[in-house]
Each structure stands twice: as structure tokens, then as C-alpha cells.
Structure 1
Amino acid sequence: MSQATQAQIDELRSLFQAKFEETYSSKEDAFHPNDLARINNGDSWLGRFIDHHDGNVSEALNMLWETLEWRKKFGTNDISESNVRMEYLIDGSIFTRNRDKDGCRLFIFKSKKHYKGQKDFDELKRCVVYWFERLEKMDNGKHITLFFDMADTGLSNMDMEFTKYLISLFKQYYPNFLNYILIFEMPWVLNAAFKIIKSWLPEKAVEKIKFVNKKTLSTYVEPEQALKCWGGLDDYTFTFVPFEFENTTGDMKDSNSNDGGNNKKVHFADGSQLSNNISEKYEANPNAILLINPPEVITFSSDGGDLHGSLTITNKSKQIISYKVKTTSPEKFRVRPSSGCLSEGENVTINVALQPGFQLGGLSRDKFLVMCMNVDNVNMSVSDINELWKNNAGKQIEQHRLRCGEPQNLTANRNGISILNTSGDVSKQLNSVISSVQKLHNSQEHLQRSIKRIEILQLLNLILFITISVIFLYMLQNELSLERGGGGASSSMCYRE
């Protein structure tokens, strides 16, 4: 594939700036400042538009302009876990893991976990764009490979509208972003559907489609980078790991995207590595700035069926400090306040609550990080504090890691449903049990629907068998009748002679 020259990039930037000044009288009416910064301060994004159109700068300009308009309208620069449907992100139907032989990340669509019409399509679009933005920032716009895991799928899992939207993102708004489209173990019943999908793609994109199975996948993905369910060596089980978009510029690593390294560090909500100048000063260190209580474990207790924990942090120094609390599972916990400032000797209580819909057990795997640094002003605004922590390079930061303690007032009944052993509101406890039972009931209904479909198929097979048998018997009876008729005529003739 041809690479855009510096002259072509400079020409595209110049054409864009001229059109921009002609179209917009003020920046307030223009595009998102982050996108404008990408155009003015770098070449790689512009080069991708040029390469996408095989060096045609005029077509690259049209696509660039349409992309900026779409990004502004869609709100791509503001997308994060806080404004997408988290249940769509954590169900494991779409995620990233490992790389192909070209070093491109695999963006995996687990088809058997997706049923057409069962999700809000607009919300599903936002989740896909969330992953596209995340993948772009993780590798600075390097190609990705779209991996359709079609194993164990049927017609109910085939969502043509969703597939068409995926393709449109590559064609219209994410230039030169696609490496391969790998179709893994596609059932023959979906052949016709993929012929339609091919018609949506330009010719050079059709060449990127590769149909693979367990025997041929190694042509494009090394066994060490392939999941065990694909016949590979990676026994990974999907777990969603959050990502902080505002503070990511390089190659970010998370446990959803194994790069073959041996990084065993805990990743918090921002997904980034802490700077090398961070000092680890735990409570046992008399020089620690913060006094943390409890120092190591956040213990949760029940409150009318809800789980809450807390910790108190005290500024032991003679300086003004800013603190920040992060967690490995921001989708699971609500932390208030998560950041602020403390003057000398001042303290604050941080409340941690388990969000509705998450299991009560297994909290010991979750971690919290309390950090602090010296600042000049105790009355900083929330936005100033957030900006401070986003741009903390060169600052001396103290950190304290805490883990979650399993709640002490939980028991499990024979069915594995956790029940709170408290003297709180019995009705709330009952509601918790009812909710668990309802989930079991919903699962049972889904199983019954599946069984019903199997029974209908069996009935159709039985009807087909009976029909074929009746036709066979009818034909056999006709043949026997003809034979008898012929024999009778012969006997009659002999008798007359």
C-alpha cells in the first residue's frame, strides 16, 4: 500500500485550513478542538486519509471533512464508560484481545452472544465507536483486524444491519484502519448473507476477507495469540477492563489485549502506567503524607440490602495536598468524593458503594489506589483538580494500595443466592432474593425457548420422514398393482386358448 508523502500531507492540511476559514467565522461553530489539534499538530492522521484514497488528496479532503462533521455530531471525543451502556461492554460480545501475525490488534465480535433486535441499536453503535476510539488510542491508529467468531451461530445471530454499520465505520470515518476481516468457522447457512456483505465493500476490502477455521487460523494468527476456543493456546476468559480516554496518547496495555509480555501490574481506571517518579509510601512509613484508615483493606457492610464501605484519609504534612482515589473496577463501585484537596491536618471520609446489578461475592479481587501530591491552593475547582491529575508528569506522587475485604455478614443458601445476615429491612432482603430468582427464571425461559425451537425442528423432521414414507409406500403399492394386473391378463389369455 502506498504511503502518503509529506508534500501530499501538507497539501491536504492547506486545503483543509482554507476550507475551514471559508466555512466557519468562529471556532465556536467549528469542529471539536481535539480533532483540529490532530490536523494541525501531526501528520499521521492526515496521511491515513490520503492512503485510504490511494493518494487522491481531493477525495481525502472530502472524507476528512465528513469525518469531522460526524465526530462532532456523534460526540466521539467525549465517549467513555460513563456515557455508554455498560451491560453491552461487559457481556463479552465485542472486545479486543491479542494480535495477528502483522502485529495488528484483533477486534473480536463473538457472534453467538449477539441476537438481532435484543439490544438498543443506537446504544450498540455507541459501544462500537467506544471500541474504535479505544483501539485508535491504544496503538495510535495502527491497523486492526476485525475477527468474526462465527462458531455455534445461526440465523438468529446474524445481524446484517449491525454488520453494515461496522463496515460503514471503516469506509467513511476511520480511514486506512482495517488490516483483515477474519471469518472464523462460518456455518454454511450464512453463505448467502456474506455474499451480500461482500457487495457492500470496495474491491480492495473484499480482498481482506479471509475465511478460516481451527486448522487454517495459524496462517494469520499465531497459536500463542489465538484463544483456546479457536484451537489456540490462550486460555483467556473475557473480563472488561476500563480505559481513560482523556489521558492516553501511546500504546496502552490492558488485560483484554495480551501483547505477549509478562506485565503483572494492577491496572486502575485510567489504564495507564504511573510515572517512574512515584514514591511508594505506605502507612508503615513514618514519612508518609497520608494517614489511611483502614490502612490495607476496605471492609463492606450492609445497609438495608446495599453494601457500603469507607476509608478516612488525613493529611499529615504541613503542605496542602490534592488526593485522588481510583479503582480497578469503576463500573462496579461508586466512590464519593473521588478527588479533592486537604490542608494541613485536615481529613476526609471516602464512601464506597457497590453499584446495583453486581454480585456481592468476589470483591477481594478488586483494588483501590489512593494517591496524593502537593499543591498550592486548597480551594481548587473540580475541573482544575481533574486537569491537574491528567497532567501530573514530573510531580512527586505518593500512592497507597488497598484491597476489598469480603463482607462478613453474607451467607449463601442452597441455591447459591447470597443473602444478607442483618437486622435491616426484611422487605429489601426479600427483594434481593426475588431479583435473583427472577434472573434464574429469565434464564429458564431462555432455555425453554431454545428447547421449543429444537422440538419444532424435530417435529418438522418427523413430518418430513412421514411424508417421504407415505410417498414411498404409495409408489410401491402402485408398482405392485401394475405387476398383478399384467399377470392376470396373461392367465386369461392362456385360459381362452
Structure 2
Amino acid sequence: MVVDEKAQIRELRDKFLSKLKDGEPSGSSDFHPADIERVSSNDDWLRRFLEHNEYNIQDALKMLWESCEWRRNFGTNDITENNVRMDYLEHGVCYSYGKDKDGKKLFVIKSKLHTKGSKNFAELQRCIVYWFERLEREGNGNQISLFFDMIDVGLSNMDMELTKYLIGLFKNYYPNFLNYIIILEMPWILNATFNIIKSWLPAKALPKIKFVKRATLKEYVDPSVALKSWGGNNEYVFKFVPEAQSNGLVNGKTDNKKVHFAENSPLTEQADSTFGDKLPDQALLSVEPEVLTFTKSGNDVISKTITLKNNSSESNVTYKIKTTSPEKFKVRPNTGILLPSQSVSVTITLQLGYDHRSLVPNDRFLIMCLPIENKEMTNTDLIDFWKSNGTASEQHKLICRLGNDSFDGLKSSLVNNGAGDENLISKLFTKISQLQDEQAKLESSITSLKRLFVFFGTLVIVVLAWFVHSLNSNVQSFMKEQSHTSVVETILPRHDEI
């Protein structure tokens, strides 16, 4: 069947934009402007959705819509080297290097360097998405090959959750992006594990899996490209290199040093207005506290409360709250109206599935406010109001900190008192946070060792008890035999007496 590709691309675009205009389903159409622009103008991107779904328009539309929803909720467009864990990028668990024989870039997973639970999974996900987005930009959407370096890997290095996440990205959000899955030197002990992994892939993707040894890797990667550890000739040693900057762009985005905020649906931060220069005594709104310190107490859900107060004794004020990480936080209420001199308490909760240690210096909140006359406006009216008037708002920014120690107050003090560059201080405290993580892992290991000692101690006691019991049984049996022999000798005459 001959497919009119251009006509199908036009149809897919028209259906998407029509659905977007109609706002169906309700509340789901507030996508990132960059994604809407890509749908509107990038034929190659839409072609990938059609190819991935074998030119079924409805399936392609469903995948395109769900991809835009995921990108909005995950904050994909706003992920840069500045807001992911740099130590994760520099560790080399995953990185891009070289190309396969088809000219597709290799995305390498060095499995030996990773063990399940050794890294914050949410932050590791962000690093992987950073690499996917970077490879998309560098290759203009060209396919990549997923390369599992499984040399010297054991069961502890096999993270099924991570593998499933990688496959899910290709399967659901990055259409027609996968060339091969190359698996180098997989230990035989993991055969059963990979049978499970195969079940996660669609049937048409199974031929993409290539199990290779050092001797056979040359079928897919040229020896001049393959590392020496892979059996090739290349002496490359991994070192993280920041993405190239060109035409004023960093990571494909304008380097304006701004932080992008989102709420339940991400919106890029508008340019600062003159409101941002107001002195505290002139501000419409006061916000307390200015730093959100999250602490963990047992198994309780982590939440913080901020207080917003209308400083005006005459005017009503409407407020709106955004966050850089909508996938991590729930904000209630995130918009509303304050009457003159009125206050409101806003609860910010760390979502289930996120550990308090996943907080990074780039997790921030933007609170915007504007005077308003109509105090009876509905939530729908407020949404429309903010879409039209957000650029002129007064803005307050809050930063997140990890609690349970004295470092947070020290850091805030250093920043607020001008003791140094905030980025440098943030890096310092990121290192401190990493040391805390290592301390927690060490404590966990000590606990495990204690349990192991208890187990072996119990085992030794059981073995000794069994040995004593057996010895006692044998002694009693021996004594009975001796007693029986004596009786027999008493009743029967000895041979020499007959």
C-alpha cells in the first residue's frame, strides 16, 4: 500500500491542534510551548510518530498526545546540565560515545558501575532524559543504539527497574529512536533475566536485540571505534564533556540564566517585570519562609507550609504558584484571591515515590501576584486572567533545601550575606549531600552486616545444639549397647568355660 506521507503528517498535525484547541480532555492541553511549536512546524518529528505506529493515524495521535503530556509533567524541555546531578553524569554509568556501523550514536550503559538502589532513581531518570534530549539535538532526531557494556557484571549490577525505564522511553515517548540494543558479554546467569526484559518489548523490536562477545562486536561496531575493554582498538577513557554551545544556546536553549517554572502544567517563566525590583515594604505580597527546608520524620509524608499575606489594606490580590519540578511536588492551593490584609496557608507536599534526598538546589517555587478588582472570579476565570496578565506580575522565588542538619541554615546564610557565588555554594552543599548519602549507605551496610552476624551466630548455635544432641544420643546408644553386652555375657558362659 502506497502511503501519502505528507498528507498523513498534515492530518496528524491538524488532528492534534484541533484537539488542543478544543481543550479535550479538560486540563490536559497546557503543553510546553516548545512542544506545540514542534508539532506545528517539524514534519520530521511527526513522521517518527507515524513510522513508529506503522502509519496508523489514531495510534500516532495517541502517542503524540501522551508524549506531550509526559514531557509537560516531567519538565523534559527544561532539563539541562544545570539542574541534574552532575556527579551522576560524571560517574559514567551512562554516556554517549562513538557510533555503530549504521552511523547511529551509541548510548552506553556501563552496568558494572551501577547497583540497584545506589543512586536516587528519580535523579538518575533525569540524567537519562538529559542524555536522550541531548542526543536528539546533536543528531537532529537520528536514531541511537542502546549499548549495554556487561563486562564483569554480577547479579547485583542488574537493575530491572532501570532497564524497564529505558525501554519505556523508547516505547512510549521517543518514537522510532532506537536502532539496536547491543548487549556485550552478558553473563549466562542473567539469561532468565533477559527473557523477562524481552517480554517488555513489542514483537517488532525483538530483532533489534544483538547479543555479542568481544570477538563478534565488530559486526556492529567498527574495531577502530570499539574501546579496548570491548575488544577494539580505541583507547578512549570516559570523561563527561558539557554540551557544545553555539549561537548563544546552551543545551539547545537560550542561556539567559533563568529558571523555568511549572505548576501542575509547566509554563516557562516570564521575563521579570519592574515588580521584581520592588522593595519589601512596597510589595503586594509577603511570603514566609523564603527557604523551604524539607526534613524526614519516620514514614510521614513530607510537607511544608508557606504563608502568603496581602500587604494592601485596600486592594484584592490574586496569586499563582509554579514550580520547577511539578513531578515532585503537590501545591494546594496553587492559585487564589486574597482580600485586603488577608493571609492564606499553602501546603507544599513532596509526592509519594520521591525521597527527601532527591531535592536539589534547582528545585524552586515562583509565587506571582497581581492586584485584582473582581474578588468573585472562579478558578477558570483566574486561569484565563493569568494567561493574559502573567508577564506583569510581582514575583517571589523560594528555594528548597534538605533538612535534618545544620548545613541548610549555614548555606542560606552564606548566600543571603553575599559570602560567595550561589552556584559555587550549591556545588559545595551538593557534595555535602552526597557525603550524607554515602553515610546513609554505610549505615545501611553496617546494619546488614549486623543482621548477617546475628544470622550466622544463630546458625552456629543451632549447629552446636544439633552436634551436642547427636553426641548425647550416640553416647546413650553406646552405653545401652555396652549394658546389653554385659547382660549377655552374664547369662551365657564364656567359650573358654565350655
TM-score after normalising by structure 1:
0.51
Q: Distance in 1 between matches of 2:245 and 2:67?
A: 19
| Offset from partner CA, 1:214-244 (integer Å, 9 cap, x none) | 1100100111111111011211111111226
| 1:5 and 2:77 are equivalent in the alignment | no
Q: Which residue of 1 aligns with 2:191?
A: 191
8 Å Cα contact 2:80/2:251 also seen in 1: no
Give the superposition deviation at 1:213: 0.9
Change in Cα spacing, 1:177 to 1:251, as seen in structure 2 (3 Å) is: farther
Residue 156, structure 1, aligned to residue 161, structure 2: no
1:177 matched residue in structure 2: 177
1:356 aligned partner: 428
Output the CA distance in 2 between the equivalents of 1:159 and 1:352: 33
Deviation string for 1:146-177 (max 9, x for gaps)?
Answer: 00000000000000011001000000000000
Structure 2 letter corresponding to 1:80: T
Residue type at the aligned position of 2:227: L
Question: 2: CA distance between counterparts of 1:65 and 1:89?
Answer: 30
Alignment match, 1:41:
41
In structure 1, distance between residues paired with 2:422 and 2:25: 48
Aligned-partner Cα distance in 2 for 1:82–1:251 = 10
Helix, strand or coil at the partner of 1:224: coil
Q: Is the 8 A contact 1:3 1:51 kept in 2?
A: no
Distance 1:214 1:251 in 2: 34
- 2:308 maps to 1:236: no
CA contact (8 A) 1:145 1:180 kept: yes
SS of the aligned residue for 1:233 comes to: coil
Q: Please, which moves more after superposition, 84-93 or 103-112?
A: 84-93
Partner residue, 1:131: 131
Question: 2: distance between equivalents of 1:26 and 1:64?
Answer: 17
What is the identity, as a one-letter code, of the residue corresponding to 2:163? Answer: T
Query: Which amino acid is 1:49 matched to?
Result: F
Give CA-to-partner distance per residue, 1:152-211, whole Å, 9 cap, x none: 000000000110010000000000000000000000000000000001101111110000
Task: Give the aligned residue type for 1:209.
Answer: I
Structure 1 residues 245, 171: closer, same or farther in 2, change over 3 A?
A: farther
After superposition, the Cα gap between the structure-2 partners of 1:86 and 1:247, relative to the gap in structure 1 and judged at 3 Å, is farther
Post-superposition shift, 1:358?
11
Structure 1 residues 2-11 or 185-194, which shifts more? Answer: 2-11
State the one-letter code of the partner of 1:238. F
Matches for 1:111-122 after TM superposition, within 5 Å:
111-122=111-122
Contact kept in structure 2, 1:214 and 1:231, CA below 8 Å:
yes
The equivalent residue for 1:64 is 64
Q: Tell me the residue number matched to 2:217.
A: 217
Q: Please report how far the alpha carbon of residue 352 of structure 1 lies from its aligned counterpart in structure 2 after TM superposition.
A: 10
CA-CA distance at 1:356 after TM superposition: 3.4
Q: Distance in 1 between matches of 2:239 and 2:208?
A: 29
Residue deviations 1:318-370 (CA, integer Å, cap 9, x gap): xxxxxxxxxxxxxxxxxxxxxxxxxxxxxxx99996953999xxxxxxxxxxx
Structure-1 residue corresponding to 2:146: 146
For 2:423 and 2:165, locate their aligned partners in 1 and report how far apart those are by CA, in whole Å: 39
Q: Which runs of 5+ in 1 are unaligned?
A: 253-267, 271-348, 360-430, 457-497
Q: CA RMSD in A?
A: 4.1
What SS does the aligned partner of 1:225 have?
coil
- C-alpha contact 2:245 2:251 (8 A) present in aligned 1: no
- After superposition, the Cα gap between the structure-2 partners of 1:352 and 1:63, relative to the gap in structure 1 and judged at 3 Å, is closer
| Corresponding residue of 1:106 | 106
| Identity level (%) | 52
Contact 1:137 1:250 survives alignment (8 Å): no
Q: How does 1:67-466 map to 2 (within 5 A)?
A: 67-243=67-243, 355-356=427-428
CA–CA separation in structure 1 for the residues paired with 2:25 and 2:55: 30
In 2, distance between residues paired with 1:245 and 1:63?
A: 31
Answer whether contact 1:225 1:232 (CA < 8 A) is retained.
yes
Aligned partner of residue 207 in structure 1, secondary structure = helix
Secondary structure of 1:133's match? Answer: helix
- Alignment partner, residue 31 of structure 1: 31
User: In the alignment, residue 190 of structure 2 is paired with which amino acid?
Assistant: L
Maintained 8 Å contact 2:243/2:250 = no
Query: What is the CA–CA distance in structure 1 between the aligned matches of 2:45 and 2:207, rounded to whole Å?
Result: 24
Counterpart-to-counterpart distance in 2, 1:28 and 1:210? 39
TM (norm. structure 2) is: 0.50
Aligned-partner residue type, residue 57 of structure 2: V
2:180 counterpart SS class: strand
Distance in 2 between residues matched to 1:134 and 1:168, nearest whole Å: 18
Shift of 1:13: 0.6
CA distance, structure 2, for counterparts of residue 77 and residue 8 of structure 1? 26
Alpha-carbon offset, residue 75 of structure 1: 0.2
Deviations 1:297-336 (A, max 9, x none): xxxxxxxxxxxxxxxxxxxxxxxxxxxxxxxxxxxxxxxx
Q: Deviations over 1:366-416 (max 9, x none)?
A: xxxxxxxxxxxxxxxxxxxxxxxxxxxxxxxxxxxxxxxxxxxxxxxxxxx
**Does the aligned pair in 2 maintain the 1:95–1:109 contact within 8 Å?**
yes
- The 1-side partners of 2:3 and 2:231 are apart by 36
The 3-state SS of whatever aligns with 2:428 is coil
In the alignment, the residues of structure 1 paired with residue 188 and residue 105 of structure 2 have an alpha-carbon distance, to the nearest angstrom, of 27
Question: Does the CA contact (< 8 Å) of 1:151 and 1:186 recur in 2?
Answer: yes
Q: 2 CA distance for matches of 1:351 and 1:163?
A: 36
Query: Is the contact made by 2:155 and 2:190 (CA closer than 8 Å) also made in structure 1?
Result: yes
Q: Which amino acid aligns with 1:19?
A: K
CA offsets per residue over residues 256-294 of structure 1, 9 Å max, x none? xxxxxxxxxxxx9x9xxxxxxxxxxxxxxxxxxxxxxxx
- Deviation at residue 28 of structure 1 after TM alignment: 11
Q: Residues 446-471 of structure 1: CA distance to partner in whole angstroms, max 9, x if unpaired?
A: 9xx9xx9xxx9xxxxxxxxxxxxxxx
Shift of 1:24: 6.2
Gap change, CA 1:33 and 1:351, over 3 Å in 2: closer
Give yes or no for contact 2:244–2:251 (8 Å, CA) kept in 1: no
Equivalent residues of 1:214, 1:230 under 8 A apart: yes
1:29 CA displacement: 5.7
Cα distance, 1:41 vs structure 2: 1.3
The CA distance in 2 between the partners of 1:172 and 1:80, in whole Å, is 22
Cα displacement string for residues 51-88 of structure 1 (whole angstroms, at most 9, x for unaligned residues): 00111111000000000000000000000112111111
Question: How many residues in Structure 1 have an aligned counterpart in Structure 2?
Answer: 283
